[in-house]
């Protein structure tokens, strides 16, 4: 039975862009080789690590969402341990409840952004009126 997984990988942040893209492609190949279907790849970019990993202070974070059987977890973890460019990986099973919470959060964020945008437009429209000079007599 296929489950929905999320894997976050930290790649050595000192690598060049091409090397990082090659490492990401190797992870994608490993997932698809073991029967996984990737639904989303999210590049978070370079970030400072909370603590050094292998004397490295920066990492490039990439998050993958995919559907696969449970047999994929061990080979993917083994691949990430063997690959020298990958500092860490974490694989989670996403349940229906997790997916619902994520959708609710995304909906709330979209509503808040829309409200902020409409409030910004309202202040832009009302700021042009020149009411301050009414009722003042010129003597």
Q: Would you say residue 68 lies in a domain?
A: yes
Residue whose C-alpha is closest to residue 46's, from 37, 56, 31, 33: 56
Output the domain CATH number for residue 91. Answer: 3.30.70.60
- Give the model confidence (pLDDT) of 24-80 as tens digits: 999 999 999 999 999 999 999 999 999 999 899 999 999 999 999 889 999 999 999
Domain count, the chain: 1
Kindly state whether residue 46 falls inside one of the protein's structural domains: yes
In a domain, 41, yes or no: yes
* 17 within a domain of the structure (yes/no): yes
Q: What range defines the domain where residue 74 resides?
A: 3-97
pTM of the model: 0.73
């Amino acid at each position: 039975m296929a489950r929905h997984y999320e894997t976050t990988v930290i790649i050595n942040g000192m690598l060049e862009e091409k090397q990082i893209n090659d490492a990401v492609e190797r992870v994608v190949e490993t997932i698809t080789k073991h029967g996984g279907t990737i639904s989303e790849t999210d590049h978070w970019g370079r970030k400072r690590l909370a603590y050094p990993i292998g004397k490295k202070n920066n990492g490039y974070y990439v998050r993958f969402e995919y559907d696969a059987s449970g047999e994929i977890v061990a080979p993917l973890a083994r691949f990430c341990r063997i690959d020298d460019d990958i500092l860490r990986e974490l694989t989670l099973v996403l349940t229906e409840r997790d997916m619902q919470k994520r959708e609710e959060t995304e909906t709330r964020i979209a509503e808040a952004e829309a409200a902020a945008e409409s409030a910004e437009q309202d202040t832009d429209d009302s700021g042009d009126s020149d009411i301050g000079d009414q009722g003042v007599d010129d003597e």
